[in-house]
Amino acid sequence: MRNITMLGTGLIGTFYTMTLHGYRARDQIKVACAVNDEQAREFAKNWDIPRWTSDIAEAVNDPETDTVVIGIPNYLHLQAALLAIQAGKNVLCTKPLGRNAAEALQMLEAAEKAGVFHGYLEDLVYTPKTLKALESVKRGALGNILWARSRETHPGPHSDWFWKKELSGGGAIVDMGCHCIEIARNFIGKDVRPVEVMCWADTQVHPIEAEDSAVGLVRYENGAIGQYEVSWTFRGGMDLRDEVSGTEGTIWLNHWLRTGFDMFTAVGQGGYVAEKAEGDTGWLFPVGDEVNSLGYVHMFQDMLDAIDEKRAPMETFYDGYIVNAIVDASYKSAQTKRWEPIELAVWRGSEGGARKIGPSEYDAEHWLIKEEKMPDGKTKLILKAKSSGEISQKFTE
Amino acid sequence: MRNITMLGTGLIGTFYTMTLHGYRARDQIKVACAVNDEQAREFAKNWDIPRWTSDIAEAVNDPETDTVVIGIPNYLHLQAALLAIQAGKNVLCTKPLGRNAAEALQMLEAAEKAGVFHGYLEDLVYTPKTLKALESVKRGALGNILWARSRETHPGPHSDWFWKKELSGGGAIVDMGCHCIEIARNFIGKDVRPVEVMCWADTQVHPIEAEDSAVGLVRYENGAIGQYEVSWTFRGGMDLRDEVSGTEGTIWLNHWLRTGFDMFTAVGQGGYVAEKAEGDTGWLFPVGDEVNSLGYVHMFQDMLDAIDEKRAPMETFYDGYIVNAIVDASYKSAQTKRWEPIELAVWRGSEGGARKIGPSEYDAEHWLIKEEKMPDGKTKLILKAKSSGEISQKFTE
Amino acid sequence: MRNITMLGTGLIGTFYTMTLHGYRARDQIKVACAVNDEQAREFAKNWDIPRWTSDIAEAVNDPETDTVVIGIPNYLHLQAALLAIQAGKNVLCTKPLGRNAAEALQMLEAAEKAGVFHGYLEDLVYTPKTLKALESVKRGALGNILWARSRETHPGPHSDWFWKKELSGGGAIVDMGCHCIEIARNFIGKDVRPVEVMCWADTQVHPIEAEDSAVGLVRYENGAIGQYEVSWTFRGGMDLRDEVSGTEGTIWLNHWLRTGFDMFTAVGQGGYVAEKAEGDTGWLFPVGDEVNSLGYVHMFQDMLDAIDEKRAPMETFYDGYIVNAIVDASYKSAQTKRWEPIELAVWRGSEGGARKIGPSEYDAEHWLIKEEKMPDGKTKLILKAKSSGEISQKFTE
Amino acid sequence: MRNITMLGTGLIGTFYTMTLHGYRARDQIKVACAVNDEQAREFAKNWDIPRWTSDIAEAVNDPETDTVVIGIPNYLHLQAALLAIQAGKNVLCTKPLGRNAAEALQMLEAAEKAGVFHGYLEDLVYTPKTLKALESVKRGALGNILWARSRETHPGPHSDWFWKKELSGGGAIVDMGCHCIEIARNFIGKDVRPVEVMCWADTQVHPIEAEDSAVGLVRYENGAIGQYEVSWTFRGGMDLRDEVSGTEGTIWLNHWLRTGFDMFTAVGQGGYVAEKAEGDTGWLFPVGDEVNSLGYVHMFQDMLDAIDEKRAPMETFYDGYIVNAIVDASYKSAQTKRWEPIELAVWRGSEGGARKIGPSEYDAEHWLIKEEKMPDGKTKLILKAKSSGEISQKFTE
């Protein structure tokens, strides 16, 4: 059982609290910290939390709590994490870890130096679908992963601070690209080094400085590609999908808009439909259990179990740092308009490109290009001679 | 926090235990009871349960437990429930409550007489999708419910006792129809009396006495229809869907085969794909979090919270009894080949048909039959004169 | 190349004409007949048809045409068909063939006596998806068909005459059940005799005499079940789906609302979305090529090719008669509230139940009840001894 | 009615012929030309074509034909087109027009100089779904288009020449990227100039020189992005999807693997399932009417109608040239690893960026960043002051 300090009472703090206090949980939030006293008091009251404050240091140093959850705006992560580390508490920080890799590295190093538990609250790699898909990939169901696309787009964030670049550290890339980057990295393999990034980013619609849309390609050392697509201009709700291609298979995940729940209503229902839904009549696509579907439940389970079991969780500050480094390279690429190397001061995976990808052998003399069943029942083989390089085709019954 | 006796260590006992010990739960199973010592011991070991036995009475009367979960074959429900009631413990019984309404009524009356807490473990009305859909229906998003179809079909149950009529009480109707009946009843409204049933049942494929396929229509007092479809002959996995039609809207739920998780694998993954999946190569449709998607998590949350809060849960032995009565009438109808009345010794809903369904008025002189937008942008109205009964159409811009 | 008389210029006549004049077709409509001169003239002008009239006999007897297409209200089918037969022309009649089996039989016998070509314009068995699915079924992909559900529901028909029982011959069953019945019959096999029907029908919402909703079960001689669901009360567009279960497989067809075309629009598009779509903002589900998706293209191709090739088309007046007989039995069952036999004065399929369905043998002593791959990789077999009837289970690696 | 010379009898020639001779078509192929006499003779026999040859010039100059369809390998397009132009015939050429922009430009200029009709057979912009989606976009249903993704991936092409770079002109980009580029261009607007391209291309799996996978971003003058994804390494069939985002809406098209036709078969069906399907048991996703779904039907309808009506078709050699120019820039970018300008010797659209995209005004002093309905029913507005640039939020009821 954990006693928790919750920093942040906005949308993310609400989702976190709903999760931590959900089901028949044995963990408890003992103090809530909001941007001002009024919000803190109301939040504490709603969620039956004994203490509240608007002072981050006071919340972090609450004598009863052993774990600090950071769910406040990006520009406060570093400061809050350092306070929690100083207090010797377990520290769990929402995404992105820092506004940039330098901040993230500072957090990682401080946590490791102090020897405190650190978890990176990257919920979307913990969705039940993603966890099961990752398990299938580990078992080899897809062969070697060649390409992973992760997409998060919606009509724009809820809070005004998101729209201010100096507070958020950026736009849609920092807000959502960090999710997509880490999802693709999990599928491709955390031991495979991300080498370089090509990124397009633009402010297509909104009167803001930060990008409201971006597409990035992250090339890994073994030739695999992680592709992220983020936007604050999407219409129709929240589009949250992953697609993974491997030499032996394919995975498609749809986390939000098409999950087996379709509703048409001519009259509406006078209330909330789903996060970032647009409209409340016509065809709607609610999500059954939102905090479960978004990965919050399995994320906190892993984090708190890991603390109990004195092991590292699936996502640590190290992972958060890698993500920030990829984000930094993305911003640079969007400026220079070319592929930019990913600078990693710390790299703990393999060198030289783990999990090679490449052609299959047909026999001693030939590579197999393709095998296909034809309409007439025959099998067509397309082969390449290793020595001459000649390409030929033949049919077998 | 609850201390629990778990009766049953088969598929259902495993799902229940996985759920009760899942996430960061504070409840604990203290004793497990299986059909023989060996299975009991192994189950207890796997799930870290302190005590085990193959004696139902011993398990029920364990001095430390306050709650008994019945997850054993149908023919043992009555006996086990009476033991638990006698012991004055909270009793939660899996579906179907009895093998027939007489058994179920005996269980209901015994529990009420003893004043013990009783819950009917009808998990499928607790799936997150179903709970959210029911909430939308309560808020009026679908208007009055006219028809609710619930379908559960798969290639047949896991254990041999299911296939023996004298142990199970019947075939696919008792096994799965009970789910479907209660799902439709929740959508149509628990206060609306189910009046009569028409049921087709047949043994289409298997060399057994019990039915392996059935379709039933349950007519409610207000004219709404609950339709259930069950089969042990379906190929392709487990088909678990609900469809609800109301005067103002529609809901479609797909709980298993199309939930936003599609996987193709040419090589398989050497293991479990999803409950009742067929094959492990080609296109597969795994489910993210099975115990959550099947309703177990929210079911036990409601049950155990209800015990803590000294309130009734969403599903009680009374509901189980109503379902058994509808099942009994279904079997009779399958024999007599006509609509059969549903005999209810106990009925606690409204009399006279709650939530009337019927036509809408267009103006003082006319009923509105239909309003439709045409390709040319006009609106076509089809009206019926109240006095003359004459039907006419007119167009408005 | 065919020269055609088109009787009817409403929705169905429009779809037919759009199809016959579609693509690069070589056939031509030479005369159009509407309910009054004005409509006939306008229709002829729009579709570049040389002649028009409001006189059915004149249209039928047009000297240039060789083929008469009947696309007028149900109560006029018999009269129009007799005129066309008398004129010795090829006659193609829309569904349902008659208002009842007696009318249909009269049409069938007249056509056969006169030796004219007769086609039953049951478009929905000609959808490209249905044709391909039927082909797969013929090749054995689903084994023996056990159950076929066909569903057509929408918010109600376009024209006022549909709502008048004396003109249409009934409500949703006559309007749409005829489609569903013939779809299921095609899947189950046209040589298998439909034996009896159980039907629920009700007027749930509209102020009309005819049923606005119905569910019917048609039992075939071999034990297979055809299930139809029709309604004029559905909300959300037109729900047009088929589901087929066989001993070896499953087919699901969605013809209208989920065909791989999803659109969200916050502003609408100022026009037609799809047949019977409701609303023009929010999430919409248009259909690419409506006349192709509804089967009109392949239907007329088969009909006109059959005339050219002097063969029978896939659907003839005989099929229309069988459908009408099933509809008649359905209405009777809805009244008597029990299964009603299907009276067939003419039956040309097999006697004694073609395509037997039943259990599979495991070995000389046992029936196989079920074979299932378990999570631990083993295969579980559930067997029944032929002599003793004992049920047992065993595991194989 | 057209008399046609068909050059090519492989997969593409078969699809074309199936289409041109399909339905009740009035056009006829009078001569077929294959790579050798045997194939030509067999093809002519199968499709009831009066004459055949293996000599391209002879086929083109057939005295009876007025229209030449080029469905032969890429390296022969230029030569065949010049022959047809010289013969003064209508010339329709499959995709890509040339192996590069230089070839395409030569074809365009020759056709225009000679004044012959020229059509670019880009079938995928003619799929019924795409045509209807384009119509909706034209009507403003999506507002201004911001991003269009088109994806075509499958396990690799059918014929060996595709795998030889010198014959095909390249790999997956030339083979399929040309489709995707033109689809995106149609959605974004043909009058908007494509300015520059960023492309990643790699040979991830096959032992070939050409790329087997690529992702490209095409930036248009108004800021819109066309994104193409192509691969010969995809597993699970043919993935053919488009996604379009605009300021007011979204369109998702799935042309192949999820079109409302799901089939499970444990035993297979002994034959063809769908183009590039993998395997014939388990869950399969056939396509109803392949030539219609792939756009061939509407493409030839437009082409031949255009010839009859003496107008330009929707896609001409000019469009083919633009596509080739984008492909050329893509290859260059894949080499230089930076955005490369698209060189257009001929540009006939608008200059200066048609269809401006950008922010919306809230009132005279503010831009609107976002408007969202909150769970509590209020509407939250996020605004930016035009003068100060300050971002604020406010709530309205």
Does the pLDDT at position C36 exceed 60?
yes
Does the pLDDT at position B355 exceed 60?
no
Do D282 and B281 count as a contact with CB atoms less than 8 A apart?
Answer: yes
Do D278 and B285 count as a contact with CB atoms less than 8 A apart?
Answer: no
- D248 contacts in chain C (CB < 8 Å): 265-267
Q: Among B262-266, C82-86, D364-368, where is mean pLDDT lowest?
A: D364-368
- How many Å lie between the alpha carbon of D172 and the closest alpha carbon of chain C? 24
* Phi (first) and psi of residue D337, to 5 degrees: 60, 30
3-state secondary structure of C315: coil
Does the pLDDT at position B354 exceed 60?
no
Burial of B86 (C-beta count, 10 Å sphere; 0-12/13-18/19+): middle
Among D206, D217, D285, D390, the strongest candidate for a mutation testing the A interface, having the largest count of A CBs within 10 A, is D206
Question: Residue A281's closest chain C neighbor by CA?
Answer: C282
Q: Among A367-381, C361-375, D42-56, where is mean pLDDT lowest?
A: A367-381
Query: Cα–chain-centroid distance for residue B334?
Result: 21
- How many Å lie between the alpha carbon of B335 and the closest alpha carbon of chain C? 11
Report which of residues B81 and C356 the model is more confident about: B81
| Amino acid code (one letter) for D272 | Y
**Which residue in B23, B269, B271 is closest to A301 by CB distance?**
B23
Q: At what angle do helices D296-309 and D11-20 cross, to 10 degrees?
A: 60
Tokens coding B109? 């009356």
Q: Confirm if C198 and B200 have CB atoms less than 8 A apart.
A: yes
Q: How far apart are CA D14 and CA D22, in angstroms?
A: 12
| Residue pLDDT, tens place only, A172-193 | 999 999 999 999 999 999 999 9
Tokens coding A340? 């930019």
Tokens coding C384? 């029944």
**What average pLDDT score do residues B258-265 get?**
96
Q: How far apart are CA A107 and CA A116, in angstroms?
A: 11
* Token pair 């099961």 in the structure block, residue: A132
How many Cβ atoms are within 10 Å of B337's Cβ, its own excluded? 16
Peptide bond into B375 cis (omega under 30): no
**Chain A residues with a Cβ under 8 Å from any Cβ in chain C:** 235-237, 264-266, 278-279, 281-285
Peptide bond into A96 cis (omega under 30): yes
| Residue pLDDT, tens place only, B331-353 | 999 999 999 999 999 999 988 75
How many Cβ atoms are within 10 Å of D59's Cβ, its own excluded? 26
Do B265 and A136 count as a contact with CB atoms less than 8 A apart?
Answer: yes
Does the pLDDT at position A397 exceed 70?
no
Cβ-proximal residues to A275 (8 Å cutoff; 6+ apart), any chain: A238, A256, A287, A290, A294
Model ipTM value? 0.91
Q: Confirm if D137 and D145 have CB atoms less than 8 A apart.
A: yes
Element (H, E) at D396: strand D391-396
Element (H, E) at A202: strand A194-202
State the pLDDT at residue D61: 98
- D281 contacts in chain B (CB < 8 Å): 279, 282
| Residue pLDDT, tens place only, D178-220 | 999 999 999 999 999 999 999 999 999 888 889 999 999 999 9
Q: How far apart are CA D386 and CA D389, in angstroms?
A: 6
Q: Among A144-153, B343-352, D43-52, where is mean pLDDT lowest?
A: B343-352
**Position C288 confidence tier, pLDDT thresholds 50, 70, 90:** very high
**Position D330 confidence tier, pLDDT thresholds 50, 70, 90:** very high
- A360 contacts in chain D (CB < 8 Å): 205
Question: Residue A235's closest chain D neighbor by CA?
Answer: D249
Do A359 and D207 count as a contact with CB atoms less than 8 A apart?
Answer: yes
Question: Residue D126's closest chain C neighbor by CA?
Answer: C288
**Position D110 confidence tier, pLDDT thresholds 50, 70, 90:** very high
Does the pLDDT at position A387 exceed 60?
yes
3-state secondary structure of C234: coil
Report which of residues A371 and A84 the model is more confident about: A84
How many Cβ atoms are within 10 Å of D1's Cβ, its own excluded? 11
3-state secondary structure of C271: coil
Q: Confirm if B175 and B167 have CB atoms less than 8 A apart.
A: no
**Which residue in B163, B232, B358 is closest to C205 by CB distance?**
B358
Sheet of D51-53, strands arranged across: D51-53, D28-33, D3-7, D67-70, D90-94, D118-121
Q: Confirm if C214 and C200 have CB atoms less than 8 A apart.
A: yes
**What average pLDDT score do residues B135-160 get?**
92
Do B357 and C208 count as a contact with CB atoms less than 8 A apart?
Answer: no
DSSP state of C163: G
pLDDT, mean over chain C: 92
**Position D395 confidence tier, pLDDT thresholds 50, 70, 90:** confident
**What average pLDDT score do residues B51-69 get?**
98
pLDDT above 70 covers a percentage of chain C that reads 96
Q: What residues form DSSP beta bridges with B249?
A: A265
Output the CA torsion sign for A94, A99, A101, A107.
negative
Q: What residues form DSSP beta bridges with D150?
A: D228, D242
Do B208 and C384 count as a contact with CB atoms less than 8 A apart?
Answer: yes
Helices (H), ranges, D21-100? 37-46, 56-60, 77-86
Q: Confirm if A32 and A94 have CB atoms less than 8 A apart.
A: no
Tokens coding D225? 């992005």
Does the pLDDT at position D393 exceed 90?
no
Peptide bond into D96 cis (omega under 30): yes
Do C297 and D23 count as a contact with CB atoms less than 8 A apart?
Answer: yes
Angle at B149 between CA B147 and CA B151, to 5 degrees: 175
Q: What residues form DSSP beta bridges with D395?
A: D380
Cβ-proximal residues to D350 (8 Å cutoff; 6+ apart), any chain: D191, D192, D193
State the pLDDT at residue B40: 97
State the pLDDT at residue A354: 55
Question: Residue D247's closest chain A neighbor by CA?
Answer: A233
How many Cβ atoms are within 10 Å of A267's Cβ, its own excluded? 17
| Residue pLDDT, tens place only, C304-325 | 999 999 999 999 999 999 999 9
Greatest mean pLDDT among B168-172, B265-269, D290-294 lies in D290-294
State the pLDDT at residue B271: 65
DSSP state of A342: P
DSSP state of C269: -
3-state secondary structure of C70: strand
Q: Confirm if B364 and B383 have CB atoms less than 8 A apart.
A: no
Q: Confirm if A227 and A216 have CB atoms less than 8 A apart.
A: yes
Query: Cα–chain-centroid distance for residue D373?
Result: 39
**Position A279 confidence tier, pLDDT thresholds 50, 70, 90:** confident
- C384 contacts in chain B (CB < 8 Å): 163, 207-208
Q: Among A145-149, A319-323, A363-367, D323-327, where is mean pLDDT lowest?
A: A363-367
pLDDT, mean over chain D: 92
Does the pLDDT at position D75 exceed 80?
yes
State the pLDDT at residue A225: 98
Strands C366-373 and B360-363: unpaired
Q: How far apart are CA D396 and CA A250, in angstroms?
A: 46
- How many Å lie between the alpha carbon of D307 and the closest alpha carbon of chain B? 30
Cβ-proximal residues to C215 (8 Å cutoff; 6+ apart), any chain: B217, B225, B227, C199, C200, C227, C228, C229, C230
Do D282 and B285 count as a contact with CB atoms less than 8 A apart?
Answer: no
pLDDT, mean over chain A: 92
Give chains near B: 3+ CB pairs under 8 A: A, C, D
Cβ-proximal residues to D388 (8 Å cutoff; 6+ apart), any chain: none
3-state secondary structure of B261: strand
Q: What residues form DSSP beta bridges with A245?
A: A147, A250
| Residue pLDDT, tens place only, A190-223 | 999 999 999 999 999 888 889 999 999 999 999 9
Do D227 and A205 count as a contact with CB atoms less than 8 A apart?
Answer: no
| Residue pLDDT, tens place only, B84-132 | 999 999 999 999 999 999 999 999 999 999 999 999 999 999 999 999 9
**Position D325 confidence tier, pLDDT thresholds 50, 70, 90:** very high
Residues A340-369, buried b or exposed e (16+ Cβ, 10 A)?
bebebeeeebeeebbbebebeebeeebbbb
Report which of residues B165 and C248 the model is more confident about: C248
**Position C254 confidence tier, pLDDT thresholds 50, 70, 90:** very high
Helices (H), ranges, B160-251? 165-168, 172, 178-188
Q: At what angle do helices A11-20 and A37-46 cross, to 10 degrees?
A: 30
Q: At what angle do helices C128-138 and C178-188 cross, to 10 degrees?
A: 30
State the pLDDT at residue A144: 94
* Phi (first) and psi of residue C31, to 5 degrees: -150, 135
| Residue pLDDT, tens place only, A115-138 | 999 999 999 999 999 999 999 999
Q: Confirm if C280 and B377 have CB atoms less than 8 A apart.
A: no
**What average pLDDT score do residues C91-107 get?**
97
- How many Å lie between the alpha carbon of A139 and the closest alpha carbon of chain B? 5
Q: How far apart are CA C304 and CA C311, in angstroms?
A: 10
State the pLDDT at residue A374: 62
* Token pair 């288009």 in the structure block, residue: D145
DSSP state of B139: T
3-state secondary structure of A240: strand
State the pLDDT at residue A391: 81
**Which residue in D235, D237, D266 is closest to B278 by CB distance?**
D266
| Amino acid code (one letter) for D356 | K
Q: How far apart are CA A233 and CA B63, in angstroms?
A: 61
Tokens coding B84? 């638990």
Cβ-proximal residues to D389 (8 Å cutoff; 6+ apart), any chain: none
Does the pLDDT at position C391 exceed 60?
yes
Q: Confirm if A254 and A146 have CB atoms less than 8 A apart.
A: no
Does the pLDDT at position C142 exceed 80?
yes
Q: Confirm if D301 and D308 have CB atoms less than 8 A apart.
A: no
**What average pLDDT score do residues D153-170 get?**
78
| Residue pLDDT, tens place only, A103-121 | 999 999 999 999 999 999 9
State the pLDDT at residue D356: 61
Do C264 and A281 count as a contact with CB atoms less than 8 A apart?
Answer: no
Q: Across chain B, how many H-helices and E-strands are there?
A: 12, 19
